[in-house]
Chains A and B, each alone.
Chain A
Amino acid sequence: MVGNARAILIGLALVAIVVNVLQFRTIEQGADPRYAALGRLPSPLLQESLSESQAIADIYSLFFHLSEVAPGSQLHIAADSRFPITSIRDNALGFGRADSVSGVEFDETVDWVTQDDLDTEVDTYHLEGSGSVWLPHHGDVPWQIVTGDCSTSSVGNDSTSFAVFHLRDAGDTSLLLIETCLAPEGMGAAK
């Protein structure tokens, strides 16, 4: 009775194949676009698909942006930073294409700066980008990348160096990545 068992099982397998084919389109239409079997990226660049998930974009868009405006940069973060250094380091060295992320000793009194400090103490600067980043234990935090016409470094140069500060305005905390040559007086430890 070899034939019987085989015929029954092949018949069932054929039923499974037909059902699979018939239900394929329905499953695709009902699935989250990111979990569709035949989901197509809007462009070959993976980072451009982030618009499909705000939650994931909030985690990584700052760092993809950093990789575009200053690949190979060096980040200096206050060693006692209240922002999670390990998370920033993982993302900056990975997707941010940063060359190094180091903890430096900042003067406690200038660890926090305000937008006014920035406007009054820095003559000219360029806002290279801003947005919101999700950080562990902090949730969504606004960010800014600020550069200037520094003699020793420029945007796009591999040696672009940033100090990472807490920018505080009206009680809200932001993450400020400011090119170290622009850092206000007293923040020289990062230079």
Chain B
Amino acid sequence: MIIESLVILSMLVGGSAVVRVAGLRGWGVPILGSVAGVSLYISIGAVQVLSPITSSSILTMSLTAGIPIAVWLWNYFRGRDVRIKVLPAIALMVGVISLIALFRAARLVAWSSDSFRYLLNASLIATDNFDSASTALIPKRLIGVPLLHAPSGLSGSYYLPSIAPLIAALALALIAWLAWNGLSVKHNKWTVAIVTTAGLLTLATTNRFVFHGFYINGHLLFGALLLAVVGCSWIMVVDSRVSRQAMLLVMGLAIVALVFVRAETALLVGFALLPTLLDRRFSHRTKAALLALLGVPLIAWQSFVASVYLEEGSGVPLSVSGLLAAGIVMVAGIPALRWKGLNRWGQQILLLAEIGLWLALGMLALQEPEVLIDSIAATTQNTVLGAASWGLSLIMLVGLTVLAAFLKVPDGQLLRFPLTTFVPFVFLLAYLRDAAYRVGDGDSLNRMWIQLIPLAVLYFTVAIGAGEWRLKRASADSPTDEVPAEAR
């Protein structure tokens, strides 16, 4: 309990300090701060694992809290306004510790064989033995989730029961903050409150969301961090009141952390970032930094994985060398971001990228149709016919998201593109892993849906809040819930 509280608080306090210094205020500080804290913790842990220094969780915790606090103190004593409200901060910490106690007592944990592999990596990190881990563990389970559970080794345990539910709570809080800020620019607070509550309840009552809220795995962590990356990019564009510096900081940290959470991150996050990289409202320097923060850790991680394969005397598989090449292409492609055509032809490039994914899927399907046919059949069984515990939830979530696409969402493309590219992408993944998806709760795709669902919920929540059909003429708008710019 003490170790678990210290780990969580190190992330909450460290992350909050760093986003506060970056200029964020209000209730966004603990929410975005927690995203920054989790990401910082994973990033620091990754440096420890990839370098000869110890992978001790005590060091990870100390640096996660210590560096931001030092930066905060330095700014505070230099006279910058980085003050925090002490009483709410203490109340929040007490609340978090109470939740940790509650989750520990509840013993609500979902697990599968994958969970044990993640926890095995966590044990190897905890005992400073990760350099002995084999290729049976490293390429697929990575270190993001293991790093979060590794401190349990300090108390002789193998996992921290509150990590997964707190990440689920963070995903909900992040949706609430993004929707509230994004919508309150133009709409009155009651409308925003009702719409946001509806969106949050739609997600929170979904059985598989609750499952992932207690599941020892990285799917929901990925979902929350991806939501942060895409959501922060979107909120910067639609709400000029938020601190751009803080949003970019959260985005950057989340991108780095994502590299160490799931193997498919490079491609999925790469596509999610594409609308931002093609948007003229982001500076070249920002775009270059974001791409570098994806490419450099990717090169570092895949090089490490490749070295483990070589040490074992086996060849480096295409999945590793391909991702290493992707990282190199990202970094090498940074100068190309200066090309003005990227801004001018941004829409066309996005369209081409999406068409390209479908074409690639089509070509592979022509060569080997069984994989796609079997995958679609299994996915239908899982998501429509009730074989994998979704009930009607996924159909309803997809339905709401598709309907939302007919509504005007301010700068909706930033939110929509990662959603629409996900479908061809996951079926392409079936070809990359050379196996069709299967029927049942344990199917990979069945669990991967939750990686996109928080973003989908934000998308349709914002669409409902905007509440305007795309095809309606602007002159037909009702001004009743518009908030004048002066009153914002």
- A23:B113 contact, CB within 8 angstroms: no
Tell me the bound Cα distance from A6 to B465 in angstroms: 7
Chain B residues lying within 8 Å of A90, measured Cβ to Cβ, are 120, 124, 132-134, 136-137
Tell me the bound Cα distance from A20 to B400 in angstroms: 14
Asked if A110 is at the interface (CB within 8 A of a chain B CB), the reply is: no
- A1:B195 contact, CB within 8 angstroms: no
Residue picked from A36, A37, A86, A89, most chain B C-beta under 10 Å: A37
Q: Which of A92-100, A119-127, A146-154, A181-189 has 4 or more CB atoms under 8 Å from chain B?
A: A92-100
Contact flags B388-404 to A (C-beta < 8 A → 1, else 0): 01111100110110011
- B194:A89 contact, CB within 8 angstroms: no
Q: For residue B308, give the distance in angstroms from its CB to the closest CB of chain A.
A: 10
Q: For residue A42, give the distance in angstroms from its CB to the closest CB of chain B.
A: 8
Contact flags A3-28 to B (C-beta < 8 A → 1, else 0): 11110011011111101110110111
Given contacts A1-B469, A6-B467, A16-B397, contact A38 B404 (CB under 8 A): no
Tell me the bound Cα distance from A37 to B194 in angstroms: 27
- B111:A6 contact, CB within 8 angstroms: no
User: Dominant SS at the A interface?
Assistant: helix
Q: For residue B123, give the distance in angstroms from its CB to the closest CB of chain A.
A: 4
Q: Which of B241-249, B281-289, B349-357, B471-479 has 4 or more CB atoms under 8 Å from chain A?
A: B471-479
- B468:A2 contact, CB within 8 angstroms: yes
Q: For residue B456, give the distance in angstroms from its CB to the closest CB of chain A.
A: 12
Asked if A114 is at the interface (CB within 8 A of a chain B CB), the reply is: no
Tell me the bound Cα distance from A21 to B123 in angstroms: 37
Q: For residue A70, give the distance in angstroms from its CB to the closest CB of chain B.
A: 14
Tell me the bound Cα distance from A49 to B464 in angstroms: 43
Chain B residues lying within 8 Å of A93, measured Cβ to Cβ, are 123-124, 127, 129, 132
Asked if B303 is at the interface (CB within 8 A of a chain A CB), the reply is: no
Given contacts A89-B132, A95-B120, contact A9 B392 (CB under 8 A): no
Closest to A18 in B: B205
Tell me the bound Cα distance from A86 to B308 in angstroms: 12
5 closest Cβ pairs, A-B complex: A6-B467, A94-B123, A20-B205, A35-B441, A37-B210
Can you list 12 A-B pairs with a CB-CB distance of less than 8 A?
A3-B478, A3-B480, A9-B407, A20-B202, A37-B213, A40-B106, A41-B107, A43-B107, A44-B104, A44-B107, A46-B157, A93-B124
